[in-house]
Amino acid sequence: MKMEINGKTRTCGLIGNPVEHTLSPMIHNTLAKLLGHNLVYVPFPVDADKVAQAVEGADALQLLGLNVTVPYKSEVIGSLREIDELACSIGAVNTLVKTEGGYKGYNTDMEGLYRAMVSEGIRIGGEQILLLGAGGAARAVAYLCAVKGADKVYILNRTLSKAQTVAEEVNRTVGREVIVPMATEDYTKLPDGKYLAIQGTSVGLAPNTEEVVIADEAFYEKIHTGFDLIYNPWETKFMKLVMKHGGNAYNGLKMLLYQGIIAYELWNDVSVSEEDAQVVYKRLREQFI
């Protein structure tokens, strides 16, 4: 279906810095074509001191919705009329939905990761989990693992105090001691067993594709499944080391896909079929394979 932009076309977009390499327009514009919606999605680079102005301007221009990427997922909260309970618990927003008088903020990253993991047959309930990193993305992952019934989540972070902060916040929110903070260099003190490991840092992101948080190959003997939130490169060094030692490994492209789909569903009050989701995923994969 050919897209025609006219006086009834609705606009959605992405604010962040940088945004030049985003794949989000491919997700949303493909969905608009598949579903026959008169909608276009474009990226908007926003300077650090102009986030509030960007949200105000989007509201004035009647933009249907926005995605928010790094480094503004927490900063944008102060510019919102309302925030969803889940996004409030995570402390980060990645999707803005137009309402009367402003935008309501949501976080679709967590549910996007969960859908991605389910699609690969990865379970969280009852698992012993290793989480590398304690930044914004890792905090959302820690919360996801806690609410989905993980047995224990060991957060390994270079700065122990940051891991402790995440652990305290998430444990308090879910009402049980499930998150255990650890300094990265203390990985040798982990209890024996096999773990689901989630790589939640930017280490290994292109062009620094040979970097990894933990280089010791003995660490990867502990991992039965590795999930890297990075999707560029297609196979990160973390993933390669997991597979080298007999584990299964997955990248973050499906997380990107599903967090985008959930945002699209919120903006348009629709449900995207798995068939259409796979059409979009195929287009995304073609960028790497």
CA distance 103 to 88: 14
Instruction: Find the mean pLDDT for residues 22-30.
Output: 98
* Enclosing domain of residue 87: 10-107+254-285
| Phi, psi angle pair for 227, to nearest 5° | -125, 115
Q: List the 82-83 sheet strands across, edge first.
A: 39-45, 10-16, 65-68, 95-99, 102-106, 82-83
- Residue 136 shares a structural domain with residue 81: no
pLDDT digit string (tens) for 175-210?
A: 999 999 999 999 999 999 999 999 999 999 999 999
Work out how many domains the chain is built from and give that number.
2
Look at residue 289 in the predicted model and tell me its pLDDT.
Answer: 83
User: Within this chain, do residues 156 and 82 fall inside the same structural domain, yes or no?
Assistant: no
The pLDDT tens digits of the residues spanning 117-171 come to: 999 999 999 999 999 999 888 989 999 999 999 999 999 999 999 999 999 999 9
Q: What is the pLDDT of residues 248-257, one digit of tens each?
A: 999 999 999 9
Residue 2: its pLDDT value, please? 67
Query: According to the model, what pLDDT value does residue 143 have?
Result: 95
- Any residues with CB less than 8 A from the CB of 217 and at least 6 apart, and which? 241, 244, 245
- Do 159 and 75 have their domain in common? no
Over range 270-285, report the average pLDDT. Answer: 98
Alpha-carbon span 79 to 279, nearest angstrom: 35
User: What does the pLDDT read at residue 3?
Assistant: 74
Residues 125, 235, single domain; the answer is yes
117 lies in the same domain as 246: yes
Q: Are residues 79 and 39 in the same domain?
A: yes
User: What is the C-alpha to C-alpha distance for residues 156 and 139, in angstroms, rounded to an integer?
Assistant: 12
Same domain, 119 and 238: yes
Q: Are residues 185 and 272 in the same domain?
A: no
13 bridge partner residues: 42, 66
pLDDT at 114 over 80: yes
210 and 223 part of one domain? yes
> Residue 2 domain-assigned?
no
Same domain, 134 and 239: yes
Nearest in space to 253 (alpha carbons), one of 219, 220, 277: 277
Among residues 2, 8, 50, 73, the one annotated as catalytic is 73
Cβ-based burial of 50 (10 A; exposed 0-12, middle 13-18, buried ≥19): middle
In the chain, % of residues over pLDDT 70 = 99
Average the pLDDT over 24-42 and give the result.
98
Mean of pLDDT values over 268-280: 98
Verify that 230 and 276 share a domain, yes or no: no
Whether 217 and 121 share a structural domain: yes
What CATH number should be reported for the domain holding residue 91?
A: 3.40.50.10860
Distance CA 87, CA 101 (A): 19
Query: Is residue 41 situated within a structural domain?
Result: yes
- Asked whether residue 86 is domain-assigned, the answer is yes
Mean pLDDT of 226-230: 97
Torsion angle of C-alpha atoms 73, 230, 112, 149, degrees rounded to 10: -100
Instruction: Report the distance separating Cα 163 and Cα 18, nearest Å.
Output: 26
Contacts (Cβ under 8 Å, ≥6 apart) of 97: 65, 103, 104, 105, 106, 266, 267
- 73 counts as catalytic: yes
